[in-house]
Amino acid sequence: MKVLFLAHTDDGGSLGKAASEALGAAKALGGDLTVGLYGAEVQAAADSIAACGAGKFLGVAGAEFATARYGSDAAACVALAKAAGADLIVMPATSRASRVAAGVAQRLGAAIDTRLTGLALDGGKVVATRWFYRQRMVGKIERDARPWLVTVDTGCFEAVSAPGSASVEMLSVTPATRTQVTGIKSPAADAQTIRPEAKMLLVAGAGWGKSQPDGQKHLDEASQLILSLLAATQCSLGSSKSLVDQSGDGGALPFLTHMHQVGQTGSTPRHQKGLATCCHGEEPHVVGWRFIGERRAINLDASCGWAQGKADVLYVADAFAVVNKVVELLK
Ligand SMILES: Cc1cc2nc3c(=O)[nH]c(=O)nc-3n(C[C@H](O)[C@H](O)[C@H](O)COP(=O)(O)OP(=O)(O)OC[C@H]3O[C@@H](n4cnc5c(N)ncnc54)[C@H](O)[C@@H]3O)c2cc1C
């Protein structure tokens, strides 16, 4: 079986974590491995995995491949896949790769499955694992169609680091694209509160915006406490549907968006630990916690959802007081 590991380099020209993990997934299949890289430059990335066991390194490089753009990325991927002639193409499920994966598969006449959490050989057949229906059901997929393009999720495979000196065969690709990348606008680093790489996830629930025992709402204090805990721990911020819906209406906490929502209709983040605060722990929310290793919650209500077997530890306490104390101790 011919396997192509196909990935873009990151802004600094190296191979990102997601890509190194996708290489781990491709390599574990034990086939005839080719590496295909695209980006502004690919040599440094190729050198970082030179000893990974690949028989061939292919590259597409140049200024026009520096940033994500559908036309150039898709053209690079198609050229690399055609040159490799692989049966199985493994890409990381980064936003940049995911954006073009379906189009690349269509141009290659390949089958495609995305966001796999497992990829293994079973009785000589490649078996892919992925979750369905917002992570409620796990499915195993086999396909006869070749080529078969897959993207694999982060946090599921062992990253490969195998430095050395790689000899990269460069392909010449001239993308037909009318789109010009004129720059990138992104929020300031401290305004970015969704941090997939963080060890801990802090979830803020609707309780932060509710009347407290003194009969008053304390939204400013809630904002300040949550942001202080984020600053002190550099953890990632998630929220419940109730709270992000209120925030969207101009109420509650202004730094929350629907991107923060964790749950059945939100995201399913992966972090080592999670702390839910002022959140009831209802099933449509907790289903988004499927990949959180250690779960803790703070709630005034001793019979909230977290107490029904959904958390490892429940602190029956006032989250305002607990977070205040924790931030004080961390300082
Ligand atoms: C089809 C469907 C899909 C859904 N998808 C999602 C989803 O993706 N994500 C999601 O989050 N929800 C989802 N929901 C909604 C979900 O069922 C809940 O309504 C929602 O999660 C409740 O949010 P909450 O726990 O923050 O608020 P609430 O239920 O209002 O709970 C607030 C909690 O805060 C506690 N509290 C108040 N003050 C304090 C304090 N000072 N200290 C400690 N605790 C305090 C209260 O005791 C209470 O338990 C979905 C629902 C449906 C029907």
Lining ligand 1 with CB less than 6 A are 205-207, 210, 212, 240-243, 261-266, 278-280, 282, 284-285, 288, 298-301, 304, 318-320
Together in a domain, 17 and 153: yes
Q: Are 222 and 213 in contact (CB under 8 A)?
A: no
The 10s digit of each residue's pLDDT in 176-209 is 889 998 988 877 666 789 998 899 999 999 999 9
Checking if the pLDDT of 53 tops 80, the result is yes
Distance CA 204, CA 255 (A): 11
Together in a domain, 309 and 223: yes
**Across the beta sheet with 168-170, what order do the strands follow?**
111-116, 148-152, 88-92, 2-8, 32-39, 56-61, 168-170
Instruction: Report the relative pairing of strands 313-316 and 292-299 from DSSP bridges.
Output: parallel
3-state secondary structure of 207: helix
Tell me the CA–centroid distance for residue 49 and ligand 1, in Å.
Answer: 45
Q: Supply the pLDDT for residue 136.
A: 77
Q: Supply the pLDDT for residue 146.
A: 97
Tell me the CA–centroid distance for residue 193 and ligand 1, in Å.
Answer: 20
Distance CA 32, CA 19 (A): 18
Q: Which of 212, 300, 325 to mutate to test the pocket of ligand 1 (most atoms within 8 A of CB)?
A: 300
- Indicate the residue among 135, 170, 205 that finishes a domain: 170
Distance CA 144, CA 157 (A): 24
Preceding peptide of 92 cis, ω within 30°? no
Distance CA 56, CA 85 (A): 12
Weakest mean pLDDT among 89-93, 109-113, 162-166, 183-187: 183-187
- The residue whose CA is least distant from atom 27 of ligand 1 is 206
Over residues 263-284, the mean pLDDT reads 95
What residues have CB less than 8 Å from 298, skipping those under 6 apart? 275, 276, 277, 278, 314, 315, 317, 319, 322, 323
Expressed as residue numbers, the domain containing 271 is 189-330
Residue 175 lies inside a defined structural domain of this protein: no
Residue 56 lies inside a defined structural domain of this protein: yes
Together in a domain, 163 and 195: no
pLDDT band at 247 (very low <50, low <70, confident <90, very high): confident
Q: Are 263 and 290 in contact (CB under 8 A)?
A: no
- Indicate the residue among 137, 170, 203 that finishes a domain: 170
- The residue whose CA is least distant from atom 24 of ligand 1 is 279
Distance CA 289, CA 273 (A): 10
Residue 179 lies inside a defined structural domain of this protein: no
Q: Supply the pLDDT for residue 248.
A: 65
Q: Are 273 and 264 in contact (CB under 8 A)?
A: no
Q: Supply the pLDDT for residue 245.
A: 87
Tell me the CA–centroid distance for residue 305 and ligand 1, in Å.
Answer: 9
Q: Supply the pLDDT for residue 189.
A: 62
Tell me the CA–centroid distance for residue 304 and ligand 1, in Å.
Answer: 10
- The residue whose CA is least distant from atom 26 of ligand 1 is 205
Residue 323 lies inside a defined structural domain of this protein: yes
For 163, other C-beta atoms within 10 Å of its C-beta total 11
DSSP string, 280-305: ---HHHHGGGTTEEEEEEEES-TTSG
Rg for the chain, CA atoms, rounded: 23
The 10s digit of each residue's pLDDT in 152-169 is 998 899 999 999 999 999
Together in a domain, 158 and 204: no
Residue 236 lies inside a defined structural domain of this protein: yes
Give the max Cα distance, the chain. 70
Over residues 51-68, the mean pLDDT reads 97
Residue type, 90: V
Q: Supply the pLDDT for residue 2.
A: 98
The 10s digit of each residue's pLDDT in 121-144 is 999 999 999 998 777 789 999 999
**Number of domains making up the chain:** 2
Together in a domain, 210 and 306: yes
Q: Supply the pLDDT for residue 79.
A: 98
3-state secondary structure of 155: coil
The 10s digit of each residue's pLDDT in 305-326 is 999 999 999 999 999 999 999 9
Together in a domain, 255 and 125: no
Q: Which of 218, 241, 314 to mutate to test the pocket of ligand 1 (most atoms within 8 A of CB)?
A: 241
- Indicate the residue among 136, 170, 204 that finishes a domain: 170
Phi first, then psi, for residue 302 (nearest 5°) are -70, -10
Together in a domain, 208 and 70: no
Instruction: Report the relative pairing of strands 125-132 and 118-122 from DSSP bridges.
Output: antiparallel
Over residues 12-19, the mean pLDDT reads 95
Residue 12 lies inside a defined structural domain of this protein: yes
pLDDT band at 148 (very low <50, low <70, confident <90, very high): very high
Residue type, 171: L
Phi first, then psi, for residue 29 (nearest 5°) are -75, -15
Q: Which range scores top for mean pLDDT: 4-18, 172-186, 189-203, 234-248?
A: 4-18
Q: Supply the pLDDT for residue 250.
A: 62
Q: Supply the pLDDT for residue 36.
A: 98
Over residues 252-281, the mean pLDDT reads 93
Average pLDDT of the chain?
Answer: 94
pLDDT cut 90: percent of the chain above it: 87
Burial class of residue 190 in the structure, from the number of CB atoms within 10 Å of its CB (0-12 exposed, 13-18 middle, 19+ buried): exposed
3-state secondary structure of 133: coil
Residue 267's CATH number: 3.40.50.1220
Q: Which of 279, 289, 323 to mutate to test the pocket of ligand 1 (most atoms within 8 A of CB)?
A: 279
Of 277, 280, 261, the closest CA to residue 325 belongs to: 277
Together in a domain, 209 and 285: yes
